[in-house]
């Protein structure tokens, strides 16, 4: 993988991709990060799969009847893809940064097997998640634009 491929992927992801932090567990005390790109053209998604792993799946047909595909990664695979794209991202830097912060906090948390994270860890996760939601809200309202290099 070279800088040309990574800059292409980051640019494509900036325009077509999505970063998600999703609460999990019965009380929302666990969070998973996801990265995905949806597209009618399957070819660029297969390139994402080649570069970063993950899956490319048929999702649905568009209103025009065209097939719609999604490339999707989660957790540590998403972390790896986002870390590699981050230096080249212009529009989704803040979202990527928060997702990476969440994944880092989870890896440093005190989860021992099937036992839940400590209350302190859960509070930290919630704080990161709330900041992530605020970034998404600001972007939707047009109050946050991409950061130049």
pLDDT at 25 over 90: no
Within 15-137, strands assigned E span: 17-24, 30-39, 55-61, 67-74
Flag whether 148 is in a domain. Answer: no
Confidence (pLDDT) at 76: 94
CA distance linking residue 139 with residue 134, whole number of Å: 9
Write down the pTM of the prediction. Answer: 0.88
pLDDT band at 113 (very low <50, low <70, confident <90, very high): low
Confidence (pLDDT) at 2: 95
SS3 state at 36:
strand
Domain that holds residue 65: 3-140
CATH of the domain at 36: 3.10.28.10
Flag whether 123 is in a domain. Answer: yes
Flag whether 73 is in a domain. Answer: yes
Flag whether 145 is in a domain. Answer: no
Confidence (pLDDT) at 119: 85
Torsion of CA 137, 109, 24, 82, to 10 degrees: 50
Flag whether 33 is in a domain. Answer: yes
pLDDT at 39 over 60: yes
Torsion of CA 41, 4, 136, 19, to 10 degrees: 60
Least confident interval from 2-6, 86-90, 144-148: 144-148
How confident is the model over 69-107, as pLDDT tens digits? 999 999 999 999 999 999 999 999 999 999 999 999 888
Which H or E run includes 77? helix 75-85
pLDDT at 142 over 70: yes
Closest among 129, 148, 146, 134 to 28, alpha carbons compared: 129
Flag whether 47 is in a domain. Answer: yes
Flag whether 149 is in a domain. Answer: no
Confidence (pLDDT) at 83: 98
CA distance linking residue 106 with residue 32, whole number of Å: 9
Flag whether 27 is in a domain. Answer: yes
CA distance linking residue 41 with residue 47, whole number of Å: 11
Looking at the 3D structure of the chain, how many domains does it have? 1
């Amino acid at each position: 993988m070279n800088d040309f491929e990574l800059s292409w992927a980051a640019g494509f992801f900036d325009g077509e991709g999505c970063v998600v932090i999703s609460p999990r567990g019965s009380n929302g005390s666990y969070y998973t990060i996801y990265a995905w790109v949806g597209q009618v053209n399957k070819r660029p998604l297969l390139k994402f799969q080649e570069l970063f792993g993950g899956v490319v799946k048929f999702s649905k047909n568009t209103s025009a009847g065209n097939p719609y595909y999604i490339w999707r990664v989660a957790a540590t695979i998403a972390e790896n893809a986002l870390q590699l794209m981050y230096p080249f991202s212009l529009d989704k830097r803040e979202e990527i940064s928060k997702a990476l912060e969440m994944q880092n906090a989870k890896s440093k948390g005190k989860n021992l097997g099937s036992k839940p994270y400590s209350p302190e860890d859960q509070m930290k996760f919630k704080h990161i998640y709330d900041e992530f939601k605020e970034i998404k809200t600001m972007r939707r309202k047009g109050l946050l634009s991409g950061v130049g290099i």
